[in-house]
Chain A
Amino acid sequence: MVSGGTTIEFRGITKTFGAVRAVDDLTFSVQPGQVTGFLGPNGAGKTTTLRMLLGLVRPTSGSATFGGVAYAQLPDPLRTVGTALEASSFHPGRSARNHLRVYAAAAGLPSSRVEFVLGVVGLLPYADRRVGGYSLGMRQRLGLASALLGDPAVLVLDEPTNGLDPEGIRWMRGFLRDRAAEGRTVLVSSHVLSEVQQSVDRVVIISRGRAVYEGDLDGLEASATVRADSAERARLASAIALTGAAVTTTDAGVIATGITTEEVGRLALDAGIALTLLTEERAGLEDVFLELVGGEAA
């Protein structure tokens, strides 16, 4: 267990590149003991936000802190925050072991930590190979190993499932859940909701630099779609519409959002409409996500 726990706080953080507001007045916090998903399509400002949190990019205004302390002011940054950004920040001519030793030295960590984290991510057999010959999946694991070097209370991971095979994604899920269960603060970004869906407790969704949703996945699911059909399709549609839910009539039935399957069933019973189909759309979560981020391709 990690004692204390560190909360990440974003306060009105904003970054403009010329006339473009890449990140626009974001305010949210990330709690210890949970996995928080930071979602949005590519170009929504996720990476810029994380880089501001880590002191790599200077915010135009606002602040991002770890328990009130900015990254650059942390006395021992690698022992507090473990980070894996894109999988390309390696010198191709350096071995994985030497790569980790360079940063262990910078943080004053013993080389036993290097061997330990290499073991955790399963890279020990390849540790003396130059990183230039690594696959994307191996680079992801090396990035994760760097993040774990200082045994930090906070993990910040940018698209950690990118380039992983299905087995690797499953391994990553378990890994994230375990860290959170130890009381650590875990912030994971992704542009694909389904990849983190099963491992996150909370999500923050951003689009074009603005937060469009913050809460748990159940909250998102409440607005998932219901598909129903009947021989009296038009009557069913108007009955559902009367409840205030959004309704679309298609050849494949009536699609409604803002209403549950149970409510539709009861409504049909009361109106005496015989249903031929009543189901919750399983892709609903992803659809809601896409709708929130403005229908951009994920």
Chain B
Amino acid sequence: MRAIASEARKLLSVRLWWILLIILVAYVGFTAALLAGLFGALGDQLASSPGAPQLPVETLPPIVYSTATAVGYVFPLILGALAVTSEFRYQTLTPTFLAQPRRGVVLAAKGLVLALAGAVFGIAGLAASVGLGAPLLALTGNATGLDDPDTWLLLARAVLAMALWALIGVGLGTLIPNQVGSIVVVLAFTQFVEPILRFGASIWDWTAEVGKFLPGAASDALVGSSIFTSSGTGTTAVQSLEWWQGGLVLLGYGAIVTVAGLATTWRRDVT
């Protein structure tokens, strides 16, 4: 309990968390509003032109709302990674381990606090995507889906996904304690490497079978919707994972990087 209270104070006493939160809300809100406005207004025209990618009307609200995770997942990931790398960078591991010499306890507390913070990021991101997306959908004469319990389940799964991404961030920070290195890896992988891999993987059936286990794909499977899975690249017959499988795959990624970090950098001498 003490370790958890300490980690929570650490997180809340530095400006980083609310700066990331503001950017997340602005970025997700903008994307959700753009999608809702664009597809909401163009929906009729798209339906009447046979060559255009088709979006069934009932998938529009989930796509708009899930922008909170589809474009927002990188924020809890960075928050989690920085929570660990800043301890290495500013040598605060020394006072941290002096106050709690059982290092595993420190990392467990950090993981728990960051998972909670990730969930809060998820709620904030959804507030932005639903808060801007739903009125715009209604305004353009579309269903908002807010009367459908499935929509609310999707929102709950999105919160869980954001918590898991923060956890993966903690593990990643432990594995790559260099702050700049960690951020570069996060941004390069999430913004560049994985989108290309997912796109490439979707070309053949056998690569799609592998590609659905990529972290971003697993996250989209957990949430149940994403602008990426719905944007017409699905030329193969391979189904994405079930939502619970996606969740387990994400958790697995978190566990692998955390255990790897715990066994290497976290055990090292603190000099």
Contact = CB atoms under 8 A, between A and B. Distances in A.
Q: Do A and B belong to a common assembly?
A: yes
A98 interface: yes
The range of chain A's interface size is: 20 to 34
Given A51-B269, A108-B2, A91 B9 contact: no
Interface in A86-114: 86, 88-95, 98-99, 101-103, 105-108
A98 B9 contact: yes
Contacts of A14: none
Given A51-B270, A56-B269, A103-B99, A90 B9 contact: no
Interface string B257-271: 000000000000111
Interface stretch (B23-31, B86-94, B161-169, B172-180): B86-94
Contacts of B13: 94-95, 98-99, 101-102
B14 interface: yes
21 contacts: A51-B269, A54-B98, A56-B98, A56-B270, A71-B101, A77-B101, A78-B98, A85-B94, A88-B91, A89-B94, A89-B95, A91-B92, A92-B90, A93-B14, A102-B13, A103-B96, A103-B99, A106-B3, A106-B5, A106-B99, A108-B2
B16 to A, nearest CB: 8
Contacts of A36: none
Contacts of A86: 91
Contacts of A102: 6, 9-10, 13
Contacts, number: 82
Nearest to A83: B98
Contact of A105 (B2, B86, B97, B101): B2
Contacts of A105: 2, 5-6, 9
Nearest to B16: A93
A146 B9 CA distance: 16
Instruction: For the complex of A and B, list the 8 residue pairs with the smallest distance between their C-beta atoms, beginning with the closest.
Output: A106-B6, A106-B99, A98-B13, A72-B101, A57-B269, A105-B6, A56-B270, A105-B5
A174 interface: no
B96 A106 contact: yes
Contact of A146 (B95, B100, B271): B95
B90 A91 contact: yes
A219 interface: no
Contacts of A51: 269-271
Given A78-B99, A102-B6, A106-B6, 16 more contacts: A56-B94, A56-B98, A56-B271, A86-B91, A88-B91, A89-B90, A89-B91, A91-B14, A91-B86, A92-B90, A98-B9, A99-B13, A106-B3, A107-B2, A108-B2, A146-B95
A235 interface: no
Give the most central of B86, B102, B269: most A CB within 10 Å. B269
Interface string A48-64: 10010011111000000
A55 B269 CA distance: 9
A28 B9 CA distance: 39
Nearest to A92: B90
